[in-house]
Amino acid sequence: MNQPSALSHLLPSSLRAAIIASSYWVLSISLTSQSGSIAAFMGCLFSCFLIDSTIKRPPLQNLRLPVLAIITTIILGMGILLGNLLTSSLTLGNLLSPMLTYELGEVLQWFLFSAALTALLRALAHRTSYGRVLEILFVATAFVITLAAHRQGMIHRPFFIGDFALTRGIDPSSILMAFGCAAVLSLAALLMMEQNHRRLPYHFTVLGILCFSLLIYIQFFGLPSPRMTDAMGLTGQARESGSSEQENPFRDGQNNTSDMEAPVAVVLFRDDYEPAGGAYYFRESAYTQFNGTLLTVTGRSDLDEDLIDHFTPTRAEINEPLPLPDKRQTVRTTIGLLAPHRTPFGLDTPVAFENVPNPNNLRFKQVYDAFSMVPQFEFPDLIGRSAGDPDWSAAQRQAYLELPDDPRYRELATTILADLRPEFADDPYAKALAIKDYLDRNGIYSLKNEHAYAEDPAASFLFGDLTGYCMHFSFAATYMYRSIGIPARVGIGYSVPASNRAGGSSLLIQAINGHAWPEIFLDGVGWVIVDPAPSRTLVDMSVDPQNSLQQLLGDMLRDEASFDEFIESQVDSSFPIGTIARVFAALLLVMLLAAYVVKIYRLHVPRFAQPDTRYRLSYRATLDSLSALGLRRRYGESREAFARRLSAMTPTFSAMTRSHLETALSEGKPAALEQAYGVDWIALNQRIRQEIRRHVPWWKHLLAFINPFAWMSTH
């Protein structure tokens, strides 16, 4: 094989080796030390070049695939064995130091592992039709396994990316996006190399532009929005378009625990507060009004006056002051939403929401301050109080007492209260605690049930198997409270264990924290949470603490450096000229770079082309050079006429055109004709450039060198 042909094969072979070696590096970086990852990379490169250069020569040529598989398996096993021997050797540990011995063991293991596996993959690729597919699958699997930890919004995973970003103040998403682009480009390159080496640079350039344009888009317009949370946030799944809060809130059979770790918001505490009950309650809305079938979010202005049901660009406050202010603590929190929400939420009893500058538009969908009057009631503060507000109208009170026309609610509540001590027989709070205790002892927590399809899901749960999730417990308790004359509603939002805060000032809210709970209204106190907690459960709703993610998002939310930028952006936000200009400039830069890459490729690819395509690529490169100088074929002008027109300036171009047409129109193979006619296309191209240089002024050559788009006018 001559030198140009060898070089034409070296380019795709080297690119393939680099891609497969990179997949080993990505796969190993979270499993071994830095030395081990480098060894895996080098072992793959060594094996790729070794197999590609010797697979068609003895002795490998004479070995059958099963024998090669056995040999590579033995090498792989030897690597694992020798690595373990090194790390377990006390003699070497004392002689070289334990750390150096460990590093040597990792280097040996990963080098032999990657070399053996790569040798088998390359041998399969050379000898079977499915071997190249296995290579592509291996590269895809390496990237997927490594980046899978990032799913469900875990932007701090994998940790080698998260730690690298954290120590440098970078959003890990940018690095992860770059990894994703690299994975797409790698797989695309492997696929294209199996089809057509000649057009590989074209395809690779276009794909590169598309992938890295995505990074530019993300930089200016933000990350794709997560799905909107449902009423409870249990699954984080959005409802169908056009739906509202008036639909059935029960999601039996639709609650999915696979995305329960997905972060939906982060809360930054500006004031110190620890809940007495062991959990932070964040109220977003409430099911209050009975519509004849079940409780829904009210549309009446005289109900739920303590709730704020809309986001505001400035500040929104409740209309009426809360009772018992001396038993409440004012707590200010800053809440950054990671997923869209229909209404704002705040700690326990929010009294005001205020929009604040977003410190990270790429990460947070919206940021606001929530001001809460958090109750710090003790048992004596709640016992002995009457139910409801004496200032309510009859219609208001009746709205808080409506329930399904089912006498079983009152009958069961009466049965439960029969064992109540006489001094508490008429106390609303004591009655509520007794009903809560009944549900605690007899209820079973489960996400898998069929109550939602009943006419009254709460009745199906309460008078059936008592197996359900928080929505069933809260509806059942609320109906029983109402049946005995206690105004009640179902609060919805999030409940997060206080231990999750881990002593810091930030608190991560995840989809699993979505919750619903019953509340009762006591005179002089207001709404009080009485939340059932079943002692038995059929599903594990615990998740591992995400302290590093919590800290990362909290630090992002705490950053106030963007305040001045926010103020400047509000001066004139009617037309974002600056953003559009930056996007246009970035896209223009990408286009220029891509055009230069294509230009350089077209001019120099003939040196590495196969003999059967060199005639065509050399002629095209010459046309590109002429086109850059303004010497182009006219409309309808033949190649021969064009060559005659330029013959005074470059006689060699006429010879090249004649040889090109003879080769293109010949029935024989171009390689044979090239040898027969003794045509040296590279030399012809160089001679033409020398002739042109003598007849064209220097400034035209300078413009031709600068112009990246001249090749587009070649025809």
Distance CA 248, CA 254 (A): 13
Same domain membership, residue 413 and residue 313: yes
* Per-residue confidence (pLDDT) for residue 481, from 0 to 100: 96
CB 430 within 8 A of CB 386: no
Q: Which has the closest alpha carbon to 238: 468, 452, 474, 511?
A: 511
> Which percentage of the chain shows pLDDT scores above 70?
76
Same domain, 559 and 584: no
User: What pLDDT is attached to residue 446?
Assistant: 87
* β-sheet bridge partners, residue 334: 268, 369
Domain shared by 551 and 599, yes or no: no
On whether both 614 and 545 belong to a single domain, the answer is: no
More confident residue, 279 or 159: 279
Q: Which of 221, 246, 277 is the last residue of a domain?
A: 221
Q: What is the pLDDT of residue 1?
A: 42
**Do residue 530 and residue 595 come from a single domain?**
no
Average pLDDT value for residue range 405-432: 92
Q: Is residue 478 part of a domain?
A: yes
Report the pLDDT value the prediction gives residue 558, as an integer from 0 to 100: 80
Strands 467-468 and 444-445: parallel
Residue 236 token pair: 């984080």
Indicate the pairing of strand 350-355 with strand 366-375.
antiparallel
18 and 126 share a domain?
yes
Domain assignment present for 234: no
User: Is residue 573 assigned to a domain?
Assistant: no
**Contact criterion met (CB below 8 Å) for 520 and 481:** yes
Indicate whether 241 belongs to any domain.
no
pLDDT recorded at residue 289: 93
Angle at 260 between CA 254 and CA 265, to 5 degrees: 115
Q: Of 162, 194, 221, which residue sits at a domain end?
A: 221
Q: Is the pLDDT of residue 339 over 70?
A: yes
For residue range 282-337, what is the model confidence (pLDDT) as tens digits? 999 999 999 988 999 998 988 998 898 888 888 999 877 888 888 899 999 999 99
Question: Are residue 389 and residue 526 in the same domain, yes or no?
Answer: yes
Query: What's the rounded Cα separation, in Å, for the pair 36 and 44?
Result: 12
CA atoms within 13 A of residue 468's CA, in its CB half-sphere: 28
103 lies in the same domain as 21: yes
Q: What is residue 687's predicted lDDT score, i.e. its pLDDT? A: 87
The answer to whether residues 347 and 495 belong to one domain is: yes
Structurally, the chain folds into a number of domains equal to: 3
| pLDDT single digits (tens) 177-225 | 676 667 666 766 666 665 545 555 555 555 555 555 555 545 554 544 4
Burial class, 440, CB count within 10 angstroms (exposed 0-12 / middle 13-18 / buried 19+): middle
Q: What is the mean pLDDT of the chain?
A: 79
Residue 246 within a domain = no
642, part of any domain: yes
What's the whole-model pTM score? 0.59
What Cα–Cα distance (Å) separates residue 549 from each residue in 149, 158, 359?
13, 11, 17
Give pLDDT tens digits for 612-621.
778 888 888 8
**Same domain? 266 vs 212:** no
For the chain, what is the total number of helices (H) and then of strands (E)? 24, 16
**pLDDT, mean of residues 145-170:** 62
CA-closest candidate to residue 522, choices 387, 327, 428: 387
* Residue 294 domain flag: yes
Query: Are 549 and 599 contained in the same domain?
Result: no
- Is residue 243, in this structure, part of any structural domain at all? no
Q: Any idea which of 373-387, 404-418, 540-554, 691-705 has the lowest mean pLDDT?
A: 540-554
- 640 pLDDT tier (thresholds 50, 70, 90): confident
- pLDDT one-digit tens code per residue, 424-449: 889 999 999 999 999 999 999 988 87
Count of other CB atoms within 10 angstroms of residue 394:
7
Cα 112 from Cα 42, distance rounded (Å): 10
Crossing angle for the helix pair 172-193 and 3-28, to the nearest 10 degrees: 140
Cα gap 707→291, rounded to integer Å: 71
Looking at the chain, how many residues does it have? 715
pLDDT at 529 over 70: yes
Residues 532-563 have pLDDT tens digits of 999 888 877 666 667 777 877 887 788 654 44
Q: How far apart are the first and last CA of the chain?
A: 32
Do 679 and 618 touch, CB atoms closer than 8 A?
no
Range of the domain at 454: 257-564
CA distance 533 to 530: 10
Within this chain, do residues 695 and 559 fall inside the same structural domain, yes or no?
Answer: no
